């Protein structure tokens, strides 16, 4: 992350996911790291990460064991929080396997115990809830700093489904508390799961506009040149990190109306989002325009062609006004091509086929359409080690 530029682009967390713990110490009851994977212990890893100017994250589960069957934190929240703090942990992801995921109040109470235990340590630790349900969103800010809103994102259909679920939840996100539509899927064919280059860039653009935590789920050591360029685009990252902290919403949409049954099925984390979307006809041939208001009065637009042949996606005067830019004409700037598109009354962009997109910043024609160059503010950006 240091040598490939991710740290300097703003990514600050290195997160270890499941399978790091093997048991509990019979005397202290602390979680014991796998001695083969971590022969010097977790604190040594955290210290090394800190020495590189980065922060360290770790994983647990609110159930009686983790998703991979390792020891979890149910009933041990105080011990585990104190242990994590003593190791120098800066970020905690708490999963929801092997726990009651039907009773909302039980789930909220479980996460509340870990929240309180983390706060009691006195160490600032970003708390990421991984409960996979949209019903965490209305109360998420009272429990942690981010919360998963859907099942796992893998292939393109699940990117679509997670985005559609998150579109309903924008009012619940804001500075310090974020809807989490899951990790970023890269485009490397060497990975277990991957999408096309165009689709992976669209996901990044949309996740940035949705003010989502930018969690790289790929092997950061072996990132392709294309994915590295995608994940380090300073102008797109600045949209994600904008101080206003608003989540993008859909302002123009010709996609089929999503039925209540579809949305309810997609919200079931026990089933594959990819399979569910395929079963409901697949990713539809349609286009959308998403808009994220920015703190200087401009807006970032993501113009998406979800499926089908190349097309032109437009955002006319009514669309631009829906984005919060009250002007008859706008100055437009392409955030991927890094060039001014000129002054126009309708933003009209050619977009490639099957998941391609464009990302354009628009402002009043009397204003400034491009980003000032300089340091990118740092927020919930991380590279996750799975």
> How do residues 89-140 score in pLDDT, each as one tens digit?
999 999 999 999 889 999 999 999 999 999 999 999 999 999 999 999 999 9
Residue 370 placed within a domain: no
In a domain, 1, yes or no: no
pLDDT of residue 202: 99
Residue-wise pLDDT tens digits, 164-186: 999 999 999 999 999 999 999 99
Per the CB < 8 A criterion, the answer to whether 113 and 76 are in contact is no
**Structural contact between residues 114 and 156, judged by C-beta atoms closer than 8 angstroms:** no
Q: Which residues are known catalytic residues?
A: 95, 152
Same domain for 129 and 269?
A: no
- CATH number for the domain that contains residue 255: 2.60.40.1180
pLDDT at 379: 42
Is 254 part of any domain? yes
215 and 273, same domain (yes or no) = no
Three-state DSSP string of the chain = CCCCCHHHHCCCEEEECCCCEEEECCCCCCEEECCCCCCCCHHHHHHHHHHCCCEEEEEEECCCECCCCCECCCCCHHHHHHHHHHHCCCEEEEECCCCCCCCHHHHHHHHHHHHHHHHHHCCCCEEEECCCCHHHHHHHHHHCCEEECCCCCCCHHHHHHHHHHHHCCHHHCECCEEEECCCECCCCCCCCCCCCHHHHHHHHHHHHHCCCCEEECCCHHHCCHHHHHHHCCHHHHHHHCCCCCCCCEEEEECCCCCCHHHHHHHCCCCCCHHHHHHHCCCCCCCEEEEEEECCCCCEEEEEEECCCCCEEEEECHHHHHHCCCCCCCEEEEECCCCEEEEEECCEEEEECCCCCEEEEEEEECCCCCCCCCCCCCCCCEEEEEC
The reported pLDDT for the residue numbered 178 is: 98
Same domain, 94 and 202: yes
158 in a domain, yes or no? yes
Answer yes or no: is 78 within a domain. Answer: yes
CATH code, 60: 3.20.20.70
155 shares a domain with 44: yes
In this structure, what is the dihedral angle of CA atoms 170, 175, 179, 180, given to the nearest 10 degrees? Answer: 140
Q: What is the pLDDT of residue 206?
A: 99
Residue 196 forms part of a structural domain: yes
Q: What is the pLDDT of residue 371?
A: 38
Are 99 and 38 in the same domain? yes
Residues 297 and 264 in one domain: yes
The reply to whether 172 and 222 lie within a common domain is: yes
- Rounded Cα distance, 339 and 333, in Å: 6
Same domain, 128 and 144: yes
Is the domain of 261 the same as that of 342? yes
Cα 346 versus chain centre, distance? 30
How many beta carbons lie within 10 A of that of residue 376, not counting itself?
A: 19
Same domain assignment for residues 282 and 175: no
Q: In which domain, by residue range, is 63 found? A: 6-247+376-385
Residue 336 maps to a domain:
yes
Per-residue pLDDT of the chain (386 residues; tens, 9 = 90+): 999 999 999 999 999 999 999 999 999 999 999 999 999 999 999 999 999 999 999 999 999 999 999 999 999 999 999 999 999 999 999 999 999 988 999 999 999 999 999 999 999 999 999 999 999 999 999 999 999 999 999 999 999 999 999 999 999 999 999 999 999 999 998 888 899 999 999 999 999 999 999 999 998 988 999 999 999 999 999 999 999 999 999 999 999 887 767 776 777 777 788 888 887 778 999 999 999 999 999 999 999 999 999 999 999 999 999 999 987 899 999 999 999 999 999 999 999 999 999 999 999 987 544 433 333 333 445 554 33
Residue 350 pLDDT: 97
Bridging pattern class, strands 13-16 and 55-61: parallel
What is the tally of structural domains in the chain? 2
Residues 227 and 311 reside in one and the same domain: no
Q: Are residues 64 and 142 in the same domain?
A: yes
**Is residue 296 assigned to a domain?**
yes
């Amino acid at each position: 992350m240091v040598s490939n530029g991710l740290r300097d682009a703003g990514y600050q967390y290195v997160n270890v996911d499941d399978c790091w713990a093997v048991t509990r110490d019979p005397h202290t009851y602390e979680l014991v790291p796998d001695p083969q994977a971590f022969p010097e212990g977790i604190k040594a890893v955290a210290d090394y990460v800190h020495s590189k100017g980065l922060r360290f994250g770790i994983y647990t589960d609110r159930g009686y064991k983790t998703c991979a069957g390792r020891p979890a934190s149910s009933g041990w929240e105080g011990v585990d929080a104190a242990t994590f703090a003593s190791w120098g942990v800066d970020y905690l992801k708490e999963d929801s396997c092997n726990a009651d995921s039907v009773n909302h109040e039980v789930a909220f109470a479980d996460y509340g115990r870990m929240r309180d235990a983390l706060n009691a340590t006195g160490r600032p630790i970003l708390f990421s809830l991984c409960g996979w349900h949209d019903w965490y969103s209305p109360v998420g800010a009272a429990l942690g700093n981010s919360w998963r809103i859907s099942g796992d994102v893998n292939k393109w259909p699940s990117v679509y489904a997670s985005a559609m679920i998150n579109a309903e939840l924008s009012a619940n996100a804001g500075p310090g508390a974020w809807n989490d539509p899951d990790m970023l899927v890269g485009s490397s064919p060497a990975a277990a799961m991957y999408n096309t280059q165009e689709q992976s860039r669209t996901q990044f653009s949309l996740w940035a506009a949705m003010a989502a935590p930018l969690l790289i789920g790929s092997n950061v050591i072996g990132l392709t040149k294309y994915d590295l360029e995608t994940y380090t685009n300073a102008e797109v990252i600045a949209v994600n990190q904008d101080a206003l902290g608003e989540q993008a919403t859909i302002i123009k949409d010709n996609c089929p109306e999503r039925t209540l049954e579809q949305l309810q099925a997609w919200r079931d984390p026990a089933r594959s989002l990819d399979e569910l979307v395929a079963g409901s006809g697949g990713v539809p041939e349609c286009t959308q325009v998403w808009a994220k208001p920015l703190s200087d009065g401009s807006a970032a637009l993501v113009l998406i062609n979800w499926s089908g042949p190349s097309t032109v996606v437009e955002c006319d005067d009514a669309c631009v006004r829906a984005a919060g830019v009250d002007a008859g004409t706008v100055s437009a700037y392409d955030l991927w091509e890094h060039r001014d598109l000129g002054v126009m009354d309708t933003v009209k962009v050619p977009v490639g086929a099957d998941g391609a997109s464009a990302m354009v910043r628009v402002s009043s024609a009397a204003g400034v359409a491009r980003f000032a160059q300089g340091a990118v503010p740092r927020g919930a950006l991380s590279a996750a080690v799975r």
